[in-house]
Structure 1
């Protein structure tokens, strides 16, 4: 259902005006508004107090939360100033509103994947502003997450300590670190209360946030992949750092993971569904690396779908399919980074070394 609500305290006339404009735009596009939160609400615009940014207590993973806050404080690094509010409010997206001395207003949009772009509002351009907000956010809110895991303690004993492929993944993680392509995992515990951490783990099963991932095919049906929330520069343990992904259960909407017995496994990377689609369709693909960086001249997605969604996975898979050589494709993810396929990990690094641009262009 295309449903939405608006919550939180709209502390200024501008925020009240913004909330009303957003409401009218989404209603005009066929969304149904609920004045009180519903358990399965699809989209929430949650207005937060910068002094005490409290999260919206969503009841389901499918609820897409956009936190909204306003400030007049200038910052040399908007992303650094705003990103903690995204985390503290447990949001899928943050609208960070900054009023300028010239009368214009910049609205910065931030994502957990470190996507970052802005819209500028000038008086008299309200219709254009609300249309652009809708065009930016509606496809994301309508997307379907695939972040549940089904763990099977059936990993063959000869793989409990890894194999040559996990060794190559470990070495590749170190290479990414030497290339300065592994930002440190974001310290959630420094920004969230114990209660919010428990809520996050209950809803999404995660206790850490890290960026980028890498995988390598093991056989026709399975591949090794770096786990979620770990330091990719120091991968050692099967079931914690390396996970064997053996499929996707569409009925449960869950990634199937094979692990050793008697271990509490880490969760699979949210990008596992994307890697699974590529490996399934292209037997010649032997490895995939995802980094939050860029290269000139790459084909890119048109919409910055969230990581872990079917929509992003399908879009990337289509771009890989239509590339000149799917086994050696470099695909841009708008406002996000790169997904790179190769015949193996060495092939990928040989092609990208010296060509990577650390800063992802935002638009």
Structure 2
């Protein structure tokens, strides 16, 4: 059974909201936990003047912070993101009594649920996929990369070219300086739990051989992918027992973590030998099939949902899959081929539903 825990100092309006939401969660299979013994979901009531974080003890705990506002924010991302980050949340629920809730995720997804019939059930249904997801963020670094690859190859050079092109297209947004929003202690906490190296969005990878692929690191400047082990890493597998991505690195480099979407790329490459490259961008295309839930990035469930859509595509080697409220995952024979195929077709604004 999934569990939830209530934390913080709620106002009377937020207290009533949490009680209604709690009943809806219980109807969907959750149990209220009275202690902090690793709950699946924490509902953290915060105040604007001092958004108190909940310091989770494990990656498996997802935190939804609830912030009461007098009116709906005009620009949810810019107005709410600092609260989401300061409260160390996976998702923020900005609650306006009598109106509804605006959700905001770490990946900049934002969407609303209006008050009315079934309000609490709808909010609970939004939270359930987040709370029940399994993060795959651990990295195991193995210093066994072949010396001839320490300086990269023609494939990593194609990643460098692609990153520069994405920068030209303004598809590498980094609107929030996380280092300025969080104090050092909280920043270390976020990096340790979620592998976030900064708010640089998008990632790309290219297949090296039957079992391995190069992939961009987390939080690096995607417009300047150069150093092996720091900007670009070699993914060699996934260990389900450790729930970790396995990486080959040069022995002389202190490596960065690989992108949180590595599990998603690993699933696609393993199932589709014809896929030679994968690109993920925070943009949209009309008419694309999309994943049914707003799963968090870096979760096994999101990877499965995207892999399923790629499998259903007419040609899995040229698939375009929408990640609900988030962006696109695009497969191709090479990064150059992907970029040629999508040039001029991308919408900069991702629809939020």
Indicate whether the TM-score tops 0.5: yes
- TM-superposition CA deviations, 1:132-160 (whole Å, max 9, x none): 01111112210111010000111111111
Q: 1:58 — aligned with what? A: 56
2:110 is equivalent to residue 116 of structure 1:
yes
Equivalent residue, structure 1, for 2:83 = 85
CA distance in 2, matches of 1:332, 1:304: 11
Distance 1:202 1:298, change over 3 A: closer
RMSD of Structure 2 on Structure 1 (CA): 1.3
1:73 shift after superposition: 5.2
1:320 is the counterpart of 2:310: yes
The question of 1:23 aligning with 2:42 is answered no
**CA distance in 2: counterparts of 1:348 and 1:190, whole angstroms:** 35
For 1:120 and 1:28, the matched residues in 2 are separated by 20
Shift of 1:185: 6.5
**3-state SS of paired residue (1:256):** strand
Change (3 A) 1:161 1:218: same
**If the length of structure 1 is used for normalisation, what is the TM-score?**
0.94
Partner-residue secondary structure (3-state), 2:6: strand
Alignment partners' CA distance in 1, 2:227 and 2:241: 30
TM-score (norm 2): 0.97
Relative to structure 1, the CA distance from residue 201 to residue 337 in structure 2 (aligned partners, 3 Å threshold; closer, same or farther) is closer
* Contact in 1 for aligned 2:195/2:218 (Cα 8 Å): no
Using the alignment, how far apart are the partners of 2:252 and 2:161 within structure 1?
27
Moved more, 320-329 or 178-187: 178-187
Q: Which structure 2 segments of 5+ residues have no match?
A: none
Deviations 1:19-47 (A, max 9, x none): 11111112223322112211x21110001
Distance 1:262 1:186, change over 3 A: farther
The 1:65–1:75 alpha-carbon spacing in structure 2 relative to 1, beyond 3 Å, is closer
**Other structure's SS at 1:351 match:** helix
Aligned to 1:340: 330
SS at match of 1:51: coil
**1:302, CA displacement in angstroms?**
0.9
Structure 1 Cα separation of the partners of residues 222 and 264 of structure 2: 19
Deviations 1:263-319 (A, max 9, x none): 111101110000000000101000000001000011111111111111111111111
Q: Secondary structure at the match of 2:164?
A: helix
What residue ranges of structure 1 are gaps of 5+ in the alignment? none
Q: Following TM superposition, where does structure 1 have runs of at least 4 consecutive aligned residues deviating by more than 6 angstroms?
A: none
Deviations 1:337-363 (A, max 9, x none): 000000111110111000000000010
State the aligned residue count: 353
SS at match of 1:299: coil
1:233 aligns with 2:233: no
Query: In structure 2, do the counterparts of structure 1 residues 67 and 182 end up closer, same or farther at CA, with 3 Å as the change threshold?
Result: same
The residue that corresponds to 1:9 in the other structure is 9
Q: Distance in 1 between matches of 2:146 and 2:327?
A: 35
Whole-angstrom CA distance in 2 between matches of 1:77 and 1:16: 26
CA distance in 2, matches of 1:340, 1:185: 23
Equivalent of 2:236 in 240, 243, 246: 246
- The secondary structure found in structure 2 opposite 1:36 is coil
- Aligned-partner Cα distance in 2 for 1:153–1:87: 34
